[in-house]
Amino acid sequence: MSAKTLTQADLASLVGDLVAAGTRVVAPSRTGVGPLQHLDYREIKKADEMTLDAGLPKRSIKELFFPPTEVLFRWKQKKNDFELQEVETKFQKTVVIGARPCDAAAPEIVDRLMNWDYKDELWNGRREATTIVALACDGQDKSCFCTAVGLGPDSTKGADVLLVPVKGGYHAEILTAKGEALVKDFGKRFGEAKSADEAGKFRETARAKVEGNLKVDPKPIRTWLDGHFEDKYWGEIALRCHGCGACASVCPTCHCFDIVDEPEGIYEGARRRNWDTCQTGKFTLHGSGHNPRGTQNMRFRQRVTHKFAIYPRKFEEILCTGCGRCARACPGGMDLLEILSDIGQMAGGAA
């Protein structure tokens, strides 16, 4: 691991270099109309489309690896035969600039699932083609709780390079081979590291700020969840929840999908993988009409349990990076911090 300095100007030039080299550059960028204008991770062609100082984008970088819809293969019907057409699993080289640490960490967590019993070629193909240049965060707002899930506003997890804002630019920590390769390819843009202390201070301040939002220990929470599936706490947990799944759409780690065969006309079509979420009633609806998760309360319990007990049990990773997007996106005012805090108290392990 090494450190470098990247000035604002150099970063801008780096974007130009990458685009010129045929690399897809993705960075926080403004989109939307009127009061609905917001920040998203989008492909940019010029450095001035990038906005690094306006906080956390509305959605995570999940969809760079796991798009809301993707074709698995195409089919054509000829009389009684089907002709199948595979899809490309090699992807364009991509550099993500300015991914927040909570976003950068997520793909690494989901990597475990995507390479468990089946190695998902599409996911892995995109992962391999992508270098993540993360940007340390100064703590978005009171819904951030990355520190409570073992990460932090300066976490390096999942990042190939971590940029920490310093005066005039960034202190860059080169974290992985992919990061090294980026520095090597575009060495002229990276200067000698010289602001490690300033960066350290930035990181400490941010960490302290986020830690104040939620203090829980995930371990006892996991234990409590394992033992309290039928607890009355779940009984009215989701009265205000609409079951809309907006939380899952913006979640960097939610990864459930549905597979549909989508005809285009009658004689051809595509098998697609589309995002899905456990928050809708249809998710577990059986063909018989029976639904094992018949109420929204059960569905919300599933969301919490999966993230903080089931996934950790299987992969030793919490399926949450504490980005707080679910609380921000919820039209009904559901708040994961509040629930974790409650459970933390019930579990007696409050820090």
Partner 1 sequence: MSRIGVFVCHCGENIGRTVDCAAVAQACGELPGVVHSIDYKYMCSDPGQALVKQAVAEHKLDGVVVAACSPHMHEKTFRKTVANAGINRFLCEMANVREHCSWIHEDREEATQKAIDLTRFIVEKIKHNVPLEPIKIPVTRRALVIGGGIAGIQAALDIADGGCEVVLVEKEPSIGGHMSQLSETFPTLDCSQCILTPRMVEVYQHPRIKLMAYAEVDKVEGYIGNFTVTVRQKARGVNASLCNGCGECQKVCPNKKIASEFDAGLGKRPAIYVPFPQAVPNIPVIDRANCALYKGRARNAKKDACKKCEEVCGRKAIDFDQQDTFLTEKVGAIVVATGYQLYNIKKEQDKEAISGYGEYGYGTIPDVIDGLQFERLASASGPTGGKILRPSDGKEPKTVVFLQCIGSRDPAKGIDYCSKICCMYIAKHTMLYHHKVHGGQAIVFFMDIRAGGKGYDEFTRRAIEENDALYVRGRVSKMYRDGDVIKVLGFDTLSGEPMHIDADMVVLATAMRPQPGIESLAQKLSVSYDRFGFINEAHPKLRPVETNTAGVYVAGACQAPRDIPDAVAMASATASKILGLFSASELEREPLVAQVDQGTCAGCFHCVRVCPYGAVEHFEVKDRKGNLIKTVAQVNKGVCQGCGTCQANCPSKSVELQGFTDQQIFAAINAF
Partner 2 sequence: MAAKTSTDKASFKPRIAAFVCNWCTYTGADLAGTSRLQMAPNVRIIRLPCTGRIDPLFIIKAFERGADGVIVSGCHPADCHYTSGNYHARRRFAVARDVFGFMGIDPKRITFSWVSASEGGKWAEVVNDTTARVQELGPFSAYREMEARV
Partner 3 sequence: MQALQELARKLLTDKTANVVIGWGQGPRGPRPIFVTQPEHADRLIFDTRCVHNLATYLNPRRAHLVPFVKKAVVVKPCDARAVAGLIRETQVKREDVVLIGMRCGGVVRDSDMDGKLTEATVSPRCMDCPDREPKLADHLMGEEASAPPKGKGPDMIAKLDAMSPAERWEFWQKELERCVRCHACREVCPMCFCDRCIADKSMPQWIESSPHPRGNLSWQMTRVMHMAGRCVGCGECTRACPVDIPLGLILRKMTQTVEERFGYRVSDDPTVPAPMGAYRLDDKQEFIL
Least CB distance from residue 72 to partner 1, whole Å?
21
Of partner 3, partner 1, partner 2, none, which one does residue 245 interact with (CB within 5 to 8 Å by kind)? partner 3
Q: Could you give the CA distance from residue 329 to residue 342 in angstroms, rounded to a whole number?
A: 21
Among 22, 35, 265, 292, binds partner 1 (CB under 8 A): 265
The C-alpha R_g of the chain, in whole angstroms, comes to 22
**Residue 284 touches partner 3, criterion: CB under 8 A:** no
Binding to partner 3 in span 227-266, by CB under 8 A: 236, 238-240, 242-246, 248-250, 258, 260, 262
**Residue 289 touches partner 1, criterion: CB under 8 A:** yes
Q: Measured between alpha carbons, how far apart are the two ends of the chain, in Å?
A: 33
**Residue 77 touches partner 1, criterion: CB under 8 A:** yes
Among 13, 77, 284, 295, binds partner 3 (CB under 8 A): 295
Nearer to partner 3, 15 or 330 (CB): 330
Three-state secondary structure call for residue 134: strand
Nearer to partner 1, 78 or 232 (CB): 78
Among 180, 198, 231, 335, binds partner 3 (CB under 8 A): 335
State both tokens at 166.
């310093």
CA angle 222-225-231, nearest 5°? 160
Of partner 3, partner 2, partner 1, none, which one does residue 338 interact with (CB within 5 to 8 Å by kind)? partner 3
**Residue 271 touches partner 2, criterion: CB under 8 A:** no
How far CA 349 is from CA of 14, 133, 209, 273, in Å, comes to 46, 35, 22, 40
Among 17, 43, 121, 226, binds partner 2 (CB under 8 A): 43
- Span near partner 3 by CB under 8 A; candidates 29-37, 158-166, 186-194, 301-309: 29-37
Among 13, 49, 58, 67, binds partner 2 (CB under 8 A): 67
**Residue 124 touches partner 3, criterion: CB under 8 A:** no
| Count of CA atoms in the C-beta half-sphere (13 A) of 186 | 22
**Residue 73 touches partner 2, criterion: CB under 8 A:** no
Q: Could you give the CA distance from residue 4 to residue 161 in angstroms, rounded to a whole number?
A: 10
**Residue 45 touches partner 3, criterion: CB under 8 A:** no
Q: Could you give the CA distance from residue 281 to residue 298 in angstroms, rounded to a whole number?
A: 10
Query: In the chain, how many H helices and how many E strands?
Result: 12, 12
**Residue 37 touches partner 1, criterion: CB under 8 A:** no
Phi, psi dihedrals of residue 70, rounded to the nearest 5° = -150, 150
Residues 6+ away with beta carbon under 8 Å from 106: 60, 61, 62, 158, 252, 253, 321
Q: Residue 130 corresponds to which amino acid?
A: T
Among 33, 34, 35, 80, binds partner 1 (CB under 8 A): 80
Q: Could you give the CA distance from residue 290 to residue 284 in angstroms, rounded to a whole number?
A: 9
Of partner 2, partner 1, partner 3, none, which one does residue 79 interact with (CB within 5 to 8 Å by kind)? partner 1
Q: Could you give the CA distance from residue 105 to residue 300 in angstroms, rounded to a whole number?
A: 24
State both tokens at 132.
């993540």
Binding site for partner 3 (CB under 8 A): 31-38, 40, 58-59, 68-69, 142-143, 236, 238-240, 242-246, 248-250, 258, 260, 262, 272, 274-275, 277, 280, 282, 294-297, 327-329, 331-333, 335, 337-338
